[in-house]
Amino acid sequence: MKRLVLIFCAALAIAFAGCSGNNAAELYETAQLEELQQNHEHAMSIYQEIIEKYPEGKHAENARARLSALKKEK
């Protein structure tokens, strides 16, 4: 399972390498992958970035919820 996640992350990184900027959906997906890999600190920073850059979007609402949940786990 861990190997599959790593392969998926590598493919995702390659796919997004050509993108000029990260939109909310891309950032949210990246944060979720970071959570799957137990990189909670990095996921939290990405969720915070979503909240700051896209405060009114649906991804910001989800990011707030995930950020809150991760802070409670600490």
- Give the model confidence (pLDDT) of 22-72 as tens digits: 799 999 999 999 999 999 999 999 999 999 999 999 999 999 999 999 999
Q: Is residue 3 pLDDT above 50, yes or no?
A: yes
Structure confidence at residue 16 (pLDDT): 58
Q: 7 pLDDT band (50/70/90 cuts)?
A: confident
DSSP 46: H
Residue type, 23: N
User: What is the C-alpha separation between 1 and 63, in angstroms, rounded?
Assistant: 25
Separation between Cα atoms, residue 60 and residue 48, nearest integer Å: 9
Q: What is the pLDDT of residue 6?
A: 64
**pLDDT recorded at residue 20:** 44
